[in-house]
Amino acid sequence: MTDLELTDATFKNLRDFIEKKCGIAVGDSKRYLIETRLSTLAKGVDCATFDEFHTKLVTSPNSNLADQVVDAMTTNETLWFRDQGPWSILNEKLLPECSGAVSRSEKNKIRIWCAAASTGQEPYSIAISILEHIRNSGADVKPDAFRIIGTDLSPSALYVGTSGRYDRLAIERGLAPELRERYFVENDDTWDVNSQVKEMVQFEQRNLMEPFDALGRFDLVFCRNVLIYFSADLKRDIVTRIGERIVPGGAFIVGASESLQGMMGIFKMKQVSGNFFYQRPTEGNQ
């Protein structure tokens, strides 16, 4: 618990600011998140109360204080190859189909969007999966046929992802030793993703509440473990707009605890080995 005062009115003001800025809905039961995550930041800008902090926040629109608030409130929990289901779907169905389409010259490039990239483990795990698929299947396709874009709201998380450098604790969370040896370079107490993996991924700061049409269209979108933080209306809006960015026949993968129930107008649910994903129907297969 912080020693800064957080009145009910200021809690509401800060909660509304956070939701407007990044979509994160902080319920009454999560009041402690604002108290614990923003107290150090508030003290760092010489505020004795959260009311002073809110005033400074809304009267200094050109400072980076708002970005720091978003950074503090964003959950960047991640690991390599998090949850087995998406990787089974990717390895058993999506990568064989995508590499086959490239081999048959039906597609020149496979574009993949990781819409909550955090510190980079997920987009780099996708890149490693692609390289392993090519290596083990003998697919007639080169790694540069795949392009992965990782986006996130958090500047500090994106800094780590862009650097591609991880400490011992991060590197050991979910990464098999043989993959570490094959795709990482050890530097003292850190490990860097190698150039082959790094060249497949680019990172951008993006807010899912804002338009992302400029990103183009994608064959596959990962948007996992982020929709749960949004209100129902905002979640529906984001899913609809993501669906518009997916090519016909393309796939959409959400988190294991997330569902698109009630938002299935542009998707069909598919199953691979007991794991579910969503697909944008092709013409004639609506």
3-state secondary structure of 198: helix
pLDDT value, residue 1? 43
Nearest by Cα to 69 from 89, 47, 91? 47
- Ordered by where they begin, the domains of the chain are 8-73 (1.10.155), 84-279 (3.40.50.150)
pLDDT value, residue 136? 94
User: Whole-prediction pTM value?
Assistant: 0.84
β-pairing, 146-152 vs 110-114, is parallel
Nearest by Cα to 133 from 163, 89, 76, 166? 89
Residue 216 and residue 207 in contact, taking contact as beta carbons nearer than 8 Å: no
CB atoms within 10 A of CB 84: 11
Longest dimension (CA), the chain: 65
Say how far apart CA 51 and CA 10 lie, in whole Å. 6
Complete DSSP assignment for 91-138: IIIIHHHHHHHHHTTS-S-EEEEETT-TTTHHHHHHHHHHHHHHHHH-
- From first to last of its 286 residues, the chain has per-residue pLDDT tens of 456 778 889 889 998 888 888 777 788 878 888 888 888 888 888 888 889 899 988 887 656 888 888 888 776 668 999 999 999 999 999 999 999 999 999 999 999 999 999 999 999 999 999 999 999 998 889 999 999 999 998 888 899 999 999 999 999 999 999 999 999 999 888 999 999 999 999 999 998 888 899 999 999 999 998 888 788 888 888 999 999 999 999 999 998 888 787 776 788 999 999 999 999 988 655 5
Q: Kind and range of the H or E element at 147? A: strand 146-152
Say how far apart CA 282 and CA 286 lie, in whole Å. 7
pLDDT value, residue 93? 96
Residue 258 and residue 232 in contact, taking contact as beta carbons nearer than 8 Å: no
pLDDT value, residue 60? 76
pLDDT value, residue 62? 57
